[in-house]
């Protein structure tokens, strides 16, 4: 069975080694370690991984800048990224999520939890690619989910992988209220309750990119979100 490739971008070698050992043992992954942001960019160019675990506090080039540069590249735009950081403030987490990171883990962290999150992201990315999905055509929004194409008023819109998956799931369940927990389960791949702030940040980012069509994603207070025709 082909193993998923994970790139660990972490300058603390003891932590990086523990993550590598854990993922190779419990997540069935093949892990590579680099210790700086510029080395991460080179590694992705040389051999794109299936997922990146990215520390924010890196020498030469910080993690947030690495994330921004990767999301601007066509070959890494939809590459899953889990941020790893000692910073615990909400603003740092939100900044990374808005740049296109898929998830975050705050130091000190549980290796078991990190492994579970890695398996969830990899499982979800595989499941999304395999599941057939319909398109959508409205007055302003046109989406071809098979072709990974989204346009608003005839203008192509660039979405991160997570934003694209979120839009697809909301459209597939249009006119129905979808809870944050359900979105975490079906879009993020989690089987249990975790931090729901990621959902709110991604919905806000998606609405902003969709412009006028963003109004089709309604917030249902106390319940979740609904995509309406």
Domains of the chain: 4-129 (3.40.50.2300), 132-227 (1.10.10.10)
Model-level pTM? 0.62
Tens of pLDDT, residue by residue over 166-223, are: 999 999 888 888 888 888 878 877 655 456 677 888 999 999 999 999 999 999 888 8
Instruction: Sort strands 224-227 and 178-179 into parallel, antiparallel or unpaired.
Output: antiparallel
- Phi, psi (deg, nearest 5) at residue 150: -135, 130
Residue 126's pLDDT band, with cuts at 50, 70 and 90, is low
Q: How far apart are CA 150 and CA 167, in angstroms?
A: 10
Closest among 210, 183, 197 to 94, alpha carbons compared: 197
On average, the pLDDT of the chain sits at 85
Are 206 and 220 within 8 A, CB to CB?
no
Instruction: Kindly state the average pLDDT of the residues 28-40.
Output: 92
DSSP assignment of 183-220 equals: HIIIII--SS----HHHHHHHHHHHHHHGGGGGGEEEE
Distance CA 198, CA 109 (A): 18
Model confidence pLDDT, tens digit, residues 136-167: 998 899 999 888 899 999 999 999 888 998 99
Judged against a pLDDT cut of 90, whether residue 40 lies above it is answered with yes
Residues 63 and 55 sit within 8 Å (Cβ to Cβ): yes
Cα end-to-end span (Å), the chain: 43
């Amino acid at each position: 069975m082909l193993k998923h490739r994970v790139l660990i971008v972490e300058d603390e070698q003891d932590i990086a080694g523990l993550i590598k050992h854990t993922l190779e043992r419990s997540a069935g992954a093949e892990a590579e370690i680099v210790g700086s942001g510029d080395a991460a960019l080179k590694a992705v160019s040389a051999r794109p991984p299936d997922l990146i675990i990215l520390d924010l506090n890196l020498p030469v080039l910080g993690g947030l800048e690495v994330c921004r540069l990767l999301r601007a590249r066509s070959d890494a735009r939809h590459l899953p990224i889990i941020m790893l950081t000692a910073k615990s403030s909400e603003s740092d987490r939100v900044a990374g999520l808005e740049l296109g990171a898929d998830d975050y883990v705050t130091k000190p962290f549980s290796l078991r939890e990190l492994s579970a999150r890695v398996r969830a992201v990899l499982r979800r990315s595989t499941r999304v690619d395999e599941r057939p999905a319909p398109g959508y055509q409205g007055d302003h929004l046109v989406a071809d989910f098979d072709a990974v194409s989204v346009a608003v008023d005839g203008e192509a819109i660039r979405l991160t992988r997570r934003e694209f998956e979120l839009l697809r799931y909301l459209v597939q369940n249009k006119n129905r209220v979808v809870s944050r927990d359900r979105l975490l389960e079906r879009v993020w791949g989690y089987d249990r309750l975790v931090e729901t702030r990621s959902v709110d940040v991604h919905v806000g980012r998606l609405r902003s990119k969709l412009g006028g069509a963003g109004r089709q994603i309604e917030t249902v207070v106390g319940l979740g979100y609904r995509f309406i025709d």
